[in-house]
A and B are shown apart, each in its own frame.
Chain A
Amino acid sequence: MQKSSYGRGKNDKMRGHTLKVYCLVEVKDKGKVIYSEQFESHSFVAQWLQLLYSMFGLINISILGNSVPFESPFITPIELNAGSGNQSYGIQVGSGTTKSINDTALDTLIPNGNSAGQLAYGSVSITSPTINTSTNQGSFNVTRSFTNNSGGSITVSEVGVVANVLALNGNRYNILITHDILSSPITLANGQVLTVTYIFSIQT
Chain B
Amino acid sequence: MDSFKIFVIVKVKNPNQRTKVYRFKSRSFVGNFLTALYNTFNNNPPFSLPQAYPSSGSCQANTNLSGSSANPWFTVTAGSGDASWGIQVGTGTSAPSITDTSIESLIPNGSSAGQLSYGSMTLIPPVINSSNNTGYTQIQRVFINQSSASITITEVAVVMGFGGTPCKYLMIHDLLPTPVTLQPNGTVTITYQFNIAT
A: which residues have CB within 8 A of B?
A: 1-4, 6-8, 11-12, 14-21, 40-46, 48-50, 52-53, 55-59, 72, 74-81, 99-103, 126, 128-129, 131-133, 136-140, 142, 163, 166, 168-170, 178-179, 200, 202-204
Contacts and interface: CB of A to CB of B under 8 A. Distances in A.
Contacts of B134: 101
Nearest to B129: A101
B198 A136 contact: no
Contact of A56 (B34, B40, B130, B139): B139
B27 A203 contact: yes
B76 to A, nearest CB: 5
Given A8-B23, A75-B66, A204 B73 contact: no
A49 B178 contact: no
Contacts of A4: 20-22, 178
A56 B130 CA distance: 23
A192 B16 CA distance: 70
Contacts of A131: 31, 34, 98-99
Contacts, number: 218
A146 B120 CA distance: 48
A101 B196 contact: yes
Interface in B7-49: 18-31, 33-35, 37-38, 40-43
B65 A76 contact: yes
Contacts of A80: 41-42
Given A49-B137, A101-B130, A204-B30, A3 B23 contact: yes
28 contacts: A6-B177, A7-B177, A7-B178, A18-B26, A19-B2, A20-B2, A20-B3, A41-B3, A42-B197, A43-B3, A43-B198, A49-B196, A50-B126, A53-B123, A55-B75, A56-B75, A56-B160, A57-B75, A75-B66, A80-B41, A81-B42, A99-B198, A100-B198, A101-B197, A136-B97, A204-B29, A204-B97, A204-B173
A79 B97 CA distance: 28
Contacts of B40: 76-79
Contact of B24 (A12, A59, A81): A12
Contact of B65 (A6, A75, A136): A75
B21 to A, nearest CB: 5
B27 A15 contact: yes
